[in-house]
A and B are shown apart, each in its own frame.
Chain A
């Protein structure tokens, strides 16, 4: 203060407005104190300086200990300014009115250096925030309003002079956070921003109306600066305003409490802009995680001052939860080597709970060949024991246990029968005796008198017995038995029944057992066994004896029933709350979905338990470990039970959804640890349309994709995109690749659309191309309903496919196949095209979605273009379905999409069977194909119109084989055939190159949809009419039978046509390609043909490949027929079997003869397949 006293105030109290804020007042100075500053490094140290060169250093905790630097005599100049060094706490600089700057060292308490500020008063001093040897001095002299930059290493002259102020500089503030920023203000009312390191002046804040005597950076947030001026204001300003127009300039008084919320700014915003961002913004180092266990680190390189700054980036793998990684590795390794037993064993040892232990034990057991027996053993029963010692077993089981002998033959072995069996035994014992007697009696009666000493009617006999005897005598065993039963003389009844034949015996048995339901449980057991009704046992047996029940099941259950029985039992047990035992039942019953349910809850419990154990693990690793265990369990289980997920092709309602979720989660974790291949493996187990899986799969695929495929993809993407545009204009939506569409399919990366590719994919809707973003809802539709296999039809028009169209006709489809398509096309044909005659037949079976289609007339649907993006995402297992829908790529198809195809027969319908050939669409029949009404009239000129039928028909059949190959998409695993694949440039080639699919992929009735009715005439050349004569539809085409596939285009059919739905399917069908329903009688021939076909195919010269393929396809048709038990009659099957045997014996003469006979005698049964058989015979003959 002017009076030289130093007051210390408590800032907190001041702010709080308290009265006693003044802490102390001392008066050391003799004159005014002109400058003071706390030591930035030792905040309790304060320096004050003032008139007459007085400079005191204080410890504010004890103001009495202040000492003076320098001597009073040394200089008389007033000290105008002082500043502590920012780096070295004992260094202090003072600037005097006389123009000298003195640097003091508190250690020596002496001045160590003096700078000459041109003999002009030093109004302000600022130390470099980073460099202890640099400081700035300001001159308040109006004539030389400069700021000097000094380096103490050269105290003779300033390093740099900052000129800019018009009048004396009064204050400096060197930004602590960024040494490249300096504020200065002065008598010219201006506040300037400098870079003191270069001398560059960045700019100037708005001028005020009076001297600005102090300016400061906000020490905490240097974005803000405050400048005080003699006009009584403190101006708070920001260092930056990027948007001056939007923010009115604001100058705020300190009184404005809420000044922070305003946006103070400089009016002449444009006048300055920092050339570079302040350093406090500059993030020098950072880290982020990437997919696949990657860690990205960037950090600043050390660089000398003046050099360009630079950073480097480091991408590394990381695995912190190493146990996840190693566990995964280990498991995969063991699994690959097939060491299931080993895995089980290890888990057995490590199992924490009994529950777990038993599960692994069971799985181990299941893995062994003699599964059921082992299970029984596992349950504690030995088969030998059961046979040899029912007593032991009984004791062990604590309940009478059936002896397998008893059970199977109902002829108890009297020896060693336990006491409890006494009754039975005695019964039989008596019976035996009695039998003899009776027999002899009976024999005797023939010639003897009735009052023989063997009194048939002895005195002791009751009237009842008499009547029995009488009945027997009369041969009326039945009556005798009835009487016995009524009288509860079961034993007798049995004996009598024995004479009366099997039927009677059973009757007695039933009666007896019914009677004795409440009796010994073994009887009940026998009853069930005898009646083959194990369900009774399963549902009614006491759960405490579930083990025995299971043993029974193992012994007696039919293989086909076994799983369901086990499941039912498991359900009961689970209800009763014994999870462990229930899971056992599910396990042996191979009921994955149930087991999984239990395991998931176990998983959660294990996790909970794991959390409680205090270890060094994180909750995450516990979670991961539990998950790992779970996955291992499931994997082993799947392996040992050869589980085949029949639901993979479904689009919703998966029973295993819970498992799928776990798979996805596991895959994510594994992928996060960098094991992408493993992640992919599990993702491949998921249904192709499982929404969560698609994203994850795609991610893994892309992450694993190497550079080359990526490049290929990109190249490919371009043409595709192009094509997608063009067709779009013509009204057809060409397929756009969708990132989500292709399931991860390493073999076909080529087909995978480039994720970075055109936006046409699911990411962006082409139609919305003008938009920056297509709306998310449309772009991305992970939910199953979206897929719309029918959406793809447009693709069928893609030029490549067309090439096949014509030849395809030569083959015609199997006759039956015409039915459906005909019908459908007819219905669909709306553009005034008369339905072909055939359409008069009853509509073929149509799947349920048809109804939906009917709801919406095709014409009103928006052009399919809109929907294409959805098409792309289809990971439909039935990609080829697209072909079916070939006709009008109009809305209805889209519409139909959401309806999931009905599931194929459980477990029997491989997804591929759903596929229909892409060939179909472009058929000549297209003339009749329905089109959007707008186009219908111009069919003839339609650029996509296929070659005219005539042309097609001229093609000789031998040329056809390639056509068959168009069906080769079957060879692609369903998941692997992204729809877009076919549209990829020249996909056709690839298809041709596909190896023969082999019988497993029996050529589907690829033509089923393809040939529209119009082509009937061609078809008939090769295919005899169906049994019903000229009404092809009658024979239910296999294709029609395929549940979802039947979906073709009945949409928008003329109203006059009855809804397809009304047409009852003539017969339940199995999808083409399905071989699981081939009757036993035909199995042999199927096997032989298949084998021989493979042999031929493997040896046939390449030039014959088309013929080979065609033959395969034709045989496939035969197999389809057989599978469906249609067309080919049993006697024909026999003949074919004979033919096959001849073939197997290489007796080609016989084989051909039979073949000719069949062809001659069974014309009506011979479809295209006959040609195949014929050809096989000749090829087989030619093949060494």
Chain B
């Protein structure tokens, strides 16, 4: 550990926590729990302070996600009640500003698009559908489509700039960026979806990525803007698969498999996209890095 480890032992949640994410600045932590609440902590150096508890879900809350601050202090949450709630802080008070209840089953993960692509929220639901909410012109629009027959467990957006392309710090106004995301489902596959302006919907980009032998619990598209695209998928089958696609041959995905001792619940890329963290059912968190030979090495294991 490069710096002190800060433990929040008493979170105030009355049940298990299912997600904990820092905001864009690393100043606030949002957590959500089976106790149906969301809590927001302010991180102040080595200490933290609970500043808000959000109630509104009728079931366990699975996921929280911060929007890019340019859209405001916005938090999206999703839960077993099949609802996606959008919360906003305004002058110190939190308000629920939008309810999205069209999913018929648990919504497992919500994910904001890269801010360059717009204010988009993708939601993965156990009803097999993925919905994309877009805030535009002062209203929320949504498109919902069927993605994985047995339920969608996760969704993750591709970076707004295609790897290998010239990185522009100032994308032109009005560009929708690279609206693509990957979903992972209970059908053990990953699917990549791309925005189709013609239909204003999303279409599957290629045949599903297969290989997992059990549910794909989580998917994460690396934010890296280096040469390759990386997608990590965590599965119930105790593996993480890392799919890579070189910008030279788009659409071709090579795969590496990382083995674990337990089902892997979550994968997360570091901000610069060079480190992958995976959390598995045995309460272990492991950090992985790719070396130049293309091998993935476990560089750190964080246990109790």
Q: Interface on A for B, CB 8 Å cutoff?
A: 220-221, 223-224, 238, 240-243, 246-247, 260-261, 263, 265, 276-277, 281-300, 308-321, 325, 610-611, 613-624, 660-661, 664-665, 668-669, 672-674, 690-692, 695, 699, 702-703, 705-707, 710, 714, 717-718, 721, 739-740, 755-759, 762-764, 768, 771-777, 779-780, 782-783
Residue of B nearest to A705 (CB): B27
* Bound CA span A296–B72, Å: 23
Interface pair A691/B25, CB less than 8 Å apart: no
* Bound CA span A57–B16, Å: 42
Q: Smallest Cβ distance from A795 to chain B, in angstroms?
A: 20
Out of B3, B13, B59, B140, which one reaches A316, CB within 8 Å?
B3
Out of B138, B150, B289, which one reaches A618, CB within 8 Å?
B289
The B contact surface, by secondary structure, is: loop
Q: Smallest Cβ distance from B179 to chain A, in angstroms?
A: 14
Out of B16, B23, B71, which one reaches A773, CB within 8 Å?
B71
Given A618-B289, A672-B270, A674-B2, the answer on whether A707 and B44 have CB atoms closer than 8 Å is yes
* Bound CA span A624–B226, Å: 11
Chain B 8-47: CB-based contact to A (< 8 A → 1; otherwise 0)? 1101011111111111111111010110000000111100
- Which residues of B lie under 8 Å from residue A690 when comparing CB positions? 169
Q: Smallest Cβ distance from B7 to chain A, in angstroms?
A: 5
* Bound CA span A617–B72, Å: 38
Chain B 233-274: CB-based contact to A (< 8 A → 1; otherwise 0)? 000000000000000000000000000000001101111111
Q: How many Cβ-Cβ contacts under 8 Å join chain A to chain B?
A: 356
Interface pair B43/A315, CB less than 8 Å apart: yes
Interface pair B44/A240, CB less than 8 Å apart: no
Q: Smallest Cβ distance from B200 to chain A, in angstroms?
A: 18
Q: Smallest Cβ distance from A791 to chain B, in angstroms?
A: 18
* Bound CA span A614–B42, Å: 43
Interface pair A311/B150, CB less than 8 Å apart: no
Q: Does B279 contact A (CB under 8 A)?
A: yes
- Which residues of A lie under 8 Å from residue B128 when comparing CB positions? 260-261
Q: Smallest Cβ distance from B21 to chain A, in angstroms?
A: 5
Interface pair B292/A242, CB less than 8 Å apart: no
* Bound CA span A762–B273, Å: 28
Q: Does B137 contact A (CB under 8 A)?
A: yes
* Bound CA span A1154–B19, Å: 79
Q: Smallest Cβ distance from A578 to chain B, in angstroms?
A: 26
Given A615-B291, A699-B25, the answer on whether A768 and B266 have CB atoms closer than 8 Å is no
- Which residues of B lie under 8 Å from residue A284 when comparing CB positions? 16, 265, 281, 283
Q: Smallest Cβ distance from A697 to chain B, in angstroms?
A: 12
Out of B17, B150, B215, B265, which one reaches A260, CB within 8 Å?
B150
Out of B26, B97, B104, B105, which one reaches A703, CB within 8 Å?
B26
- Which residues of A lie under 8 Å from residue B140 when comparing CB positions? 772
- Which residues of A lie under 8 Å from residue B198 when comparing CB positions? none
8 residue pairs, one from A and one from B, having the closest CB atoms: A242-B82, A290-B22, A620-B274, A317-B3, A692-B169, A311-B17, A707-B44, A291-B26
Interface pair B81/A773, CB less than 8 Å apart: no
Interface pair B19/A618, CB less than 8 Å apart: no
- Most chain B CB inside 10 Å of its own CB: which residue of A620, A714, A756: A756
Q: Smallest Cβ distance from A671 to chain B, in angstroms?
A: 8
Interface pair B104/A620, CB less than 8 Å apart: no
Q: Smallest Cβ distance from B186 to chain A, in angstroms?
A: 5
B106-138 residues with Cβ-Cβ distance < 8 A to A are 106, 108, 115, 118-119, 126-128, 135-138
Residue of B nearest to A293 (CB): B2
Q: Interface on B for A, CB 8 Å cutoff?
A: 1-9, 11, 13-29, 31, 33-34, 42-45, 48, 59-60, 62, 69-74, 80-83, 86, 88-92, 97-98, 101-106, 108, 115, 118-119, 126-128, 135-138, 140, 146, 149-151, 167, 169-170, 173-174, 186, 214-215, 217, 224, 226-228, 265-266, 268-275, 277-281, 283-285, 287, 289-293, 297, 299-300, 302, 304
Interface pair B7/A300, CB less than 8 Å apart: no
Residue of B nearest to A758 (CB): B91
- Which residues of A lie under 8 Å from residue B265 when comparing CB positions? 283-286
Interface pair A309/B34, CB less than 8 Å apart: yes
Interface pair A317/B270, CB less than 8 Å apart: no
Q: Smallest Cβ distance from A925 to chain B, in angstroms?
A: 37
Interface pair B103/A315, CB less than 8 Å apart: no
Residue of B nearest to A282 (CB): B16
Residue of B nearest to A615 (CB): B292
Out of A223, A261, A297, A764, which one reaches B302, CB within 8 Å?
A297
Interface pair A763/B70, CB less than 8 Å apart: yes
- Which residues of B lie under 8 Å from residue A311 when comparing CB positions? 11, 13, 16-17, 33
Interface pair B71/A763, CB less than 8 Å apart: yes
- Which residues of A lie under 8 Å from residue B105 when comparing CB positions? 223, 238, 240-242
- Which residues of B lie under 8 Å from residue A291 when comparing CB positions? 22, 24-26, 271
Residue of B nearest to A780 (CB): B70
* Bound CA span A660–B170, Å: 12
- Which residues of B lie under 8 Å from residue A320 when comparing CB positions? 270, 274-275, 287, 289, 299-300
* Bound CA span A620–B289, Å: 9
What are 26 A-B interface contacts by the 8 Å CB criterion? A240-B80, A240-B105, A242-B103, A243-B102, A246-B104, A287-B268, A288-B19, A288-B21, A289-B275, A293-B2, A295-B302, A297-B285, A300-B283, A319-B2, A615-B292, A624-B274, A699-B25, A705-B27, A707-B42, A740-B70, A756-B92, A763-B69, A772-B98, A772-B140, A773-B119, A783-B170
Residue of B nearest to A695 (CB): B70
Interface pair B6/A772, CB less than 8 Å apart: no
Out of B43, B60, B167, B285, which one reaches A282, CB within 8 Å?
B60
Besides the known contacts A243-B102, A299-B279, A759-B90, 7 further A-B residue pairs in the complex with CB atoms under 8 A apart? A242-B103, A246-B104, A311-B13, A621-B289, A703-B25, A706-B45, A763-B73
Out of B90, B227, B272, B278, which one reaches A287, CB within 8 Å?
B278
Q: Smallest Cβ distance from A224 to chain B, in angstroms?
A: 7
Given A285-B281, A290-B26, the answer on whether A313 and B70 have CB atoms closer than 8 Å is no
Given A290-B26, A315-B29, the answer on whether A285 and B280 have CB atoms closer than 8 Å is yes
Interface pair B285/A287, CB less than 8 Å apart: yes
Interface pair B72/A287, CB less than 8 Å apart: no
Interface pair B34/A779, CB less than 8 Å apart: no
Interface pair A289/B268, CB less than 8 Å apart: yes
- Which residues of A lie under 8 Å from residue B29 when comparing CB positions? 290, 296, 313, 315
- Which residues of B lie under 8 Å from residue A308 when comparing CB positions? 14-15
Residue of B nearest to A693 (CB): B169
Interface pair B137/A292, CB less than 8 Å apart: no
* Bound CA span A1029–B79, Å: 78
* Bound CA span A321–B98, Å: 40
- Most chain B CB inside 10 Å of its own CB: which residue of A293, A294, A621, A699: A294
Interface pair B71/A779, CB less than 8 Å apart: yes
Q: Smallest Cβ distance from B119 to chain A, in angstroms?
A: 5
Q: Smallest Cβ distance from B248 to chain A, in angstroms?
A: 14
Interface pair B149/A620, CB less than 8 Å apart: no
Q: Smallest Cβ distance from A1160 to chain B, in angstroms?
A: 59
- Which residues of A lie under 8 Å from residue B14 when comparing CB positions? 308, 310
- Which residues of B lie under 8 Å from residue A660 when comparing CB positions? 169
- Which residues of B lie under 8 Å from residue A707 when comparing CB positions? 42, 44-45
Q: Smallest Cβ distance from A1120 to chain B, in angstroms?
A: 36
* Bound CA span A243–B214, Å: 27
Out of B13, B90, B281, which one reaches A310, CB within 8 Å?
B13
Given A316-B3, A620-B272, the answer on whether A242 and B104 have CB atoms closer than 8 Å is yes
Interface pair A283/B272, CB less than 8 Å apart: no
- Which residues of A lie under 8 Å from residue B293 when comparing CB positions? 614
- Which residues of B lie under 8 Å from residue A757 when comparing CB positions? 91
Given A298-B20, A764-B72, A773-B72, the answer on whether A313 and B279 have CB atoms closer than 8 Å is no
Q: Smallest Cβ distance from A226 to chain B, in angstroms?
A: 14
Interface pair A672/B271, CB less than 8 Å apart: yes
Q: Smallest Cβ distance from B132 to chain A, in angstroms?
A: 16
- Which residues of B lie under 8 Å from residue A621 when comparing CB positions? 274, 289
- Which residues of B lie under 8 Å from residue A718 when comparing CB positions? 91-92
* Bound CA span A843–B9, Å: 70
Residue of A nearest to B7 (CB): A314
